[in-house]
Structure 1
Amino acid sequence: MPHILIVEDEAAIADTLIFALQGEGFTTTWLTLGQAALEHQRQTPADLIILDIGLPDITGFETCKQLRRFSEVPVMFLSARDAEIDRVVGLEIGADDYVVKPFSPREVAARVRAILKRVGPAVAPTLFQVDLERMQILYRGQPLSLTRHEFRLLQSLLDQPERVFSREQLLDAVGVPVDAGYERNIDSHIKSVRSKLRSVAADAEPIQTHRGLGYSYSPSHS
Structure 2
Amino acid sequence: MPRLILFTIDLCAVALLVFGLYFPRYRRRDLVVAYLGVNIGVLAVASALSSSDVGAGLGLGMALFGVLSIIRLRSTELDQHEVAYYFCALALGILGALGTTSAWLNGGLMALIVAVMFLADHRRLFRGYRHQVLVLDSAFTDRAALVSHLERLLRARVHTVFVQRLDLVNETTVVDVRYAVTEPESASEPASGSAAGLAAGAGVRR
TM range (shorter): 0.3 to 0.5
Larger radius of gyration: 2
- Which structure has more helix as a fraction of its residues? 2
- Flag the structure with more relative contact order, 1 or 2, with Cα contacts below 8 A and sequence separation at least 6: 2
